[in-house]
Amino acid sequence: MSVNRDADLGWAAGFFDGEGHVSYRRGYPNKSTGRVSGSLIAVVPQNIDNVEVLEHFKSIIGFGSIGGPYKVKTNGKINRRFEVRYGVNEVEELFKILRPNLREKKTADFNRALIQYWTHDPKPTEEDFKRTIKRNKKKGCPECSGEWDAFICKKCGYIA
């Protein structure tokens, strides 16, 4: 391996150590099967003026996709963010590349997320239902988009 490749990999791991996040996520119970899907995601967000840094990271890793701009509110100010993201089929490979140079904290984060994913149980939990209700409340009534409690709409009478 070339000196540059080593330096690049060291830089990429340091960048992820500082700015990256990896997590396991549960979906919402499927309407017909009731099963909950499991997923993995790794992201590194950056402000709009740092998008080349994300391109550089992606080119060292050799894969990944850059998304944005996303509007985010920080301290009452709206910023535009980009992120490089790795999906469920990419996180393990990303970890293999970063691992030799990654610090303890993010190594533990990858290990935790991967174990949670490998031991994913599709049976919906109480927490899954709570999240679903919260999401449905936020979405509003599916019929009239009116405010509702995720069970019955007081405006149009729709029942979930």
Cβ-contact 60, 9 below 8 angstroms: yes
Name the residue nearer to Zn ion (CB basis): 103 or 155. Answer: 155
Instruction: Work out the angle between the directed axes of helices 3-19 and 104-118 (0-180°, nearest 10).
Output: 80
Q: To the nearest whole angstrom, how small is the minimum distance from the Cβ of residue 132 to Zn ion? A: 18
Q: To the nearest whole angstrom, how small is the minimum distance from the Cβ of residue 135 to Zn ion? A: 17
What is the dihedral angle through the alpha carbons of 93, 98, 102, 107, rounded to the nearest 10 degrees?
A: -10
Q: To the nearest whole angstrom, how small is the minimum distance from the Cβ of residue 143 to Zn ion? A: 4
Name the residue nearer to Zn ion (CB basis): 7 or 152. Answer: 152
Using CB under 5 A, list all residues that contact Zn ion.
141, 143-144, 146, 153, 155-156, 158
Name the residue nearer to Zn ion (CB basis): 23 or 136. Answer: 136
Q: To the nearest whole angstrom, how small is the minimum distance from the Cβ of residue 155 to Zn ion? A: 5
Name the residue nearer to Zn ion (CB basis): 70 or 151. Answer: 151
Query: Residue 37 — φ and ψ, nearest 5°?
Result: -85, 155
Q: Which residue has the tokens 């729709």?
A: 158
The sign of the dihedral angle between the CA atoms of 44, 49, 50, 56 is positive
